Amino acid sequence: MRLTAQLGDLTTVDVDVIVNAANSSLLGGGGVDGAIHAKAGPRLVAACRELRRTTLPDGLPVGQAVATPGFDLPARWVVHTVGPNRHRGQTDPALLASCFTRSLDVAADLGATSVAFPAVSAGVYGWDGDEVAHVAVKAVRAWGADGDRGVVDVRFVLFTERLLRAFEQALAQD
């Protein structure tokens, strides 16, 4: 599996799956979540409302993942994951790692070969970008080492130079 980091806009990346750093309601928000909902169009929020109505009435739990179509995005699917919120005392790195591994599980189940991640929880959820990068790279590498699951291209698509440097450093070290 190839892991790379790049500066860019996740909503424009041509991959099978983009991962959304969602909130548990799945109904949109700020940052990456808001940008994905805006670019995907109104059918995304309708699909998320249907998930809430049918299988996730209490919302998506932290560390878990669920898929919807990508609608107006270049990506075929969006895998939504809820990162831990450090401001709410959710400081366990295993919860953060689960966001990456569960997203990859869902992507593999969809038959995806390429996945693009943001820096889950590094924004308003208060996690340090260096820590997110380390946890993410370690989790993705461990997931990939567990056998061939079809995903061959994992990209970390970062919105700032600072996050890009953090992920480049983690990729070089971990």
Rounded Cα distance between 72 and 108, Å, is 22
Check 16, 33, 109, 148 and give the catalytic one. Answer: 33
The first and second tokens of residue 19, run together, are 């991962």
3: left (phi over 0), alpha (psi -120 to 50) or beta: beta
Closest CA to 81 of 98, 69, 99: 99
| 128-159 residues labelled b (16+ CB within 10 A) or e (exposed) | ebbbbbbbbbbbbbebbeeeebebeebbbbbb
- Please say if 153 is a catalytic residue: no
Hey, which residues are catalytic here? Answer: 33
